[in-house]
Chain A
């Protein structure tokens, strides 16, 4: 009886949870002659150190009101290819850019808009060249002090910097501090083009918490890569200050984008949501407490 109740509770939580799992509208909005797209270009999967599969990411990105994600697994593009294939099966899925976080001891760089894996064992300068040969762009990922020595020699070859990162909210982490990222962009590599903000998503609800506003000609991978190459990107710091070309920032100030109703704080959408998510949770607890099936015959010594 208790098993049945637990199973039914999970079922109720699942049916209602799936039904009310809404995604915000993503209207087409033009500014400064370009379509403004909201993107997160740094996303990981279960293949290495992320929580979700490539097939989960499109659903989460849609929930977070993103038009574009780049799946950038450490040193392989395979999960990104899988994510793109899955996205084709999901209604209103965001565009998936094929990417890779070329992860080495000396530096981490994002290769975006590529189609095959760039071998991270080659010297970084060669890896950058390999990305460019595939028609992609290279972004310095979270360039904190520990990566300066690796990034300095390729500064001229970078197409952009991940200037905003969840580090900006936390201040510090084992890889360094946000102040070090700012110092890299300001003092060491001021010539690197586009300013990007990415969540470096590994798990939780925070996909798109830090995002990039791309001013592209249309919603396509070539248009996005062109926009990055030409520096037509904006991001915002935690205080809401724009980082990027002043003209683009001004276009958003003059005519702000429609708000996309996105919650990162696990706030219930209403009473029904609050109740059914608890029902679902306690259903799962019940399954653990009472088991999935009565396959073991009890004995008199069993307690």
Chain B
């Protein structure tokens, strides 16, 4: 028995397709507990990034409330996943699928921790961020994160839902369309879209 050293998130981050194959092979004691721990990890990273960016350190108040404000993120992810799963031939059970899918959040963790590292380690944070923006590196990092998360989603559909490459790619597009669509519905509900982009009467 070889003990897993790194988390599932890191394994999927490094090798999206093969990482998911390994996760599918490993038996799971409790899908509920696994989903909970993945969501908690996501919220902990978001809380830490929010706390570092506003206070420069971990502060209890931000570690509690920032994740509350970002609860919609795992909900959006779940919604996108469940819609896409309806179009797969061999979908895993829902909870199992969710915990596997959430193991693909590594790129977002990398982004959040990367920005936090700049805040904590740069000698001149403002100048460093200015340089990162001006050089395009920050934007490139954002696109890299997005692209890599598409790859992890692709790995999920290919390795865990038995999809062929073309279909796995289409399901990634569908999943993101659902997530973006739901976000747009939210912003329209709070009246943030039409007045701003279409104009007033």
Contact = CB atoms under 8 A, between A and B. Distances in A.
Interface in B1-36: 1-11, 22-23, 25-30, 33-34
B69 A120 contact: no
A21 B190 contact: no
Interface stretch (A56-64, A155-163, A254-262): A56-64
6 contacts: A14-B59, A105-B197, A284-B113, A288-B9, A296-B4, A299-B27
Interface in A98-141: 103-106, 117, 119-124
Interface in A188-210: 203-205, 207
Interface of B: 1-11, 22-23, 25-30, 33-34, 37-38, 40-41, 44-45, 48, 50-63, 65-66, 68-70, 106, 109, 113, 116-117, 119-120, 124-126, 187, 190-192, 194-201
B200 A288 contact: no
Contact of B70 (A46, A123, A297): A46
A297 B3 contact: no
A292 B192 contact: no
B56 A121 contact: no
A301 interface: yes
Given A104-B196, A287-B41, A295-B29, 16 more contacts: A10-B48, A18-B58, A18-B59, A48-B192, A51-B53, A56-B69, A63-B55, A78-B190, A103-B195, A281-B120, A289-B7, A295-B37, A297-B26, A298-B26, A299-B26, A303-B22
A289 B41 CA distance: 11
B65 A105 contact: no
Contact of B192 (A16, A74, A267): A74
B26 A59 contact: no
A73 to B, nearest CB: 8
Interface of A: 10, 13-14, 16-18, 20-21, 45-48, 51-53, 55-56, 59-60, 63, 74-76, 78, 103-106, 117, 119-124, 203-205, 207, 263-268, 273, 276-278, 280-281, 284-285, 287-293, 295-303
Contacts of A273: 57
A106 B199 contact: yes
For the complex of A and B, 7 pairs with smallest distance between CB atoms: A291-B7, A46-B69, A53-B69, A17-B57, A105-B199, A120-B195, A266-B56
Contacts of B198: 105
Given A284-B48, A288-B9, A278 B120 contact: yes
Contact of B200 (A16, A60, A106, A277): A106
A13 B113 contact: no
Nearest to A285: B113
A298 B191 contact: no
A280 B57 contact: yes
A52 B195 contact: no
A27 B192 CA distance: 38
Chain A binding surface, main DSSP class: loop
Nearest to B37: A292
B121 to A, nearest CB: 8
Nearest to B53: A204
A276 B51 CA distance: 14
Contacts of B113: 281, 284-285, 288
Contact of B22 (A10, A13, A301): A301
A295 B124 contact: no
Contact of B65 (A20, A53, A123): A53
A11 to B, nearest CB: 9
A49 B62 CA distance: 17
B65 A56 contact: yes
Contact of A53 (B5, B41, B68): B68
Nearest to B54: A60
